[in-house]
Structure 1
């Protein structure tokens, strides 16, 4: 199959592009190499892909003419490209442009792909709001610009299924961790600062937050499993993550255990819009995709520390 992966040199997108290639598919990787975080990490991820023979195209979905020279014979599209996370440095316009308008541009392109079997949108548990423990049937209540715009992008994609114009689905991911995690995310920052003996900035009260910390390999298992199941997943939203909950404090302790050292903590003011609890309800994923994440928190942290030490 010929597959387009957007946001393909980011954290989860790069792992997915790599897995699809390993499964024997022809992968075209698309990314704009945004400077939202250190572009050196994206180039590191890109090298891992190009070393495997994966074609990478530098394109920005925010440009309405991004697809002028793109082939239209794709069988699957996996859409990761987005303005990520809850950031006080990102404006509403950043989220709107990258998560809604860019998605609409990609949908318009997808409609020109006559061989397209499925458009898979990558969404987030943030669409549920401050507490994300629900089934996919519950009404989303996003509490951040990120969650609001990711939900809007999701609905633009699923609209095409409702109109029988294109088969699509949206996968809502929960607290993904592992090698290549973005530098501002919790575990990369914990590992980096822990190795340097510097204090970790902990948002006030967040040590008690509960999370479905899910290893990226387990997430990718679920993502690629939609291939061949386009009739089953068409029009569906599906949670992907682990049902096992850990507090942020337990996450810090896991990193300390792997590093063999105590990490200093610097408590800073709360961050608005941050979720207090995420627990993936994956009954639907089990039923439709035979999804079964198995990697423990400690195993995931060990793999991430190994990757960090090998690259930094």
Structure 2
């Protein structure tokens, strides 16, 4: 199969592109290498992918010219590219153009791919809102610009499926952690600051937040399992994550245990839009994808610490 992976130099996109290449697929990765976070990390990811034979394209999905340089013979599109997370440095225009406009243009391109079997949109538990413990039938209540625009992107993709123009599904991911996690995300920052004996900024009350911290390898297991199931997955939304909950404090304690040192904490004012609880309801994923995440929180942290030390110390 020939597969296009957008946002391929990013965290989950790079792992998925790598796995698809390992499975014998011909993979083209595209990324705009924006400076939202370290271009050094994105280049590290991209170089690793090229070692696996992934063809990397540096281009922006918001630009019409991008679609003129891409071939139109893809069997699958895995769409990761997005303006991620909740950030005070990101404007609504950043979220709108990267998450909605880019997805609309990519959907238009997908219609030109005559042999396309499925468009796989990568959604997020942030679509549900401040609590994400629900089955896929729950009405979305996003509480951030990120969640709002990711919901809109998801619906743009599924609209094409409802109109029977393409087959498409959307996979909503839960609190993914592991090697290559972005620098501003919790575990990479905890590891970095812990090794440097510097305080970790913790938003007020967030130590009690509950999360389905899911190892990226387990997420990728679910993502690649959609291949060959386009008939049963068409126009479906599926949660991917672990059913095991941990508090943010338990995550901090896990990093402290692996590093064998205490983590200093710097209390910060409460951040609006943060989810209070995520617990992946994966009954549908189990039924349709035979999905069964197994990696524990401590195992995930051990793998992430090893990756960080190897690449950044």
Q: What interval of TM-score do these two structures reach, taking the shorter chain for normalisation?
A: over 0.9
Matches within 5 A, 1:266-277: 266-277=266-277
What is the CA–CA distance in structure 2 between the aligned matches of 1:69 and 1:42, rounded to whole Å?
21
Matches within 5 A, 1:1-312: 1-312=1-312
Secondary structure of 1:114's counterpart equals coil
What is the CA–CA distance in structure 2 between the aligned matches of 1:174 and 1:244, rounded to whole Å?
11
Secondary structure of 1:35's counterpart equals coil
Secondary structure of 1:20's counterpart equals helix
Deviations 1:102-121 (A, max 9, x none): 00010000000000000000
What is the CA–CA distance in structure 2 between the aligned matches of 1:125 and 1:88, rounded to whole Å?
20
What is the CA–CA distance in structure 2 between the aligned matches of 1:54 and 1:65, rounded to whole Å?
22
In the TM superposition, residue 65 of structure 1 has moved relative to its aligned partner by 2.5
Unaligned runs of 5+ in 2: none
Paired residue total: 312
Deviations 1:231-269 (A, max 9, x none): 011000000000000000000000000000000000000
In the TM superposition, residue 64 of structure 1 has moved relative to its aligned partner by 2.1
Unaligned runs of 5+ in 1: none
What is the CA–CA distance in structure 1 between the aligned matches of 2:131 and 2:53, rounded to whole Å?
41
What is the CA–CA distance in structure 2 between the aligned matches of 1:92 and 1:168, rounded to whole Å?
26
Query: Moved runs in structure 1, 4+ residues, more than 6 A?
Result: none
Secondary structure of 2:202's counterpart equals strand
What is the CA–CA distance in structure 2 between the aligned matches of 1:149 and 1:248, rounded to whole Å?
26
Deviations 1:111-134 (A, max 9, x none): 000000000000000000000000
Deviations 1:149-181 (A, max 9, x none): 000000000001111110000000000000000
Secondary structure of 2:151's counterpart equals helix
What is the CA–CA distance in structure 1 between the aligned matches of 2:179 and 2:247, rounded to whole Å?
20
Secondary structure of 2:28's counterpart equals strand
In the TM superposition, residue 69 of structure 1 has moved relative to its aligned partner by 1.8
Secondary structure of 1:67's counterpart equals helix
What is the CA–CA distance in structure 1 between the aligned matches of 2:218 and 2:279, rounded to whole Å?
15
What is the CA–CA distance in structure 1 between the aligned matches of 2:200 and 2:45, rounded to whole Å?
25
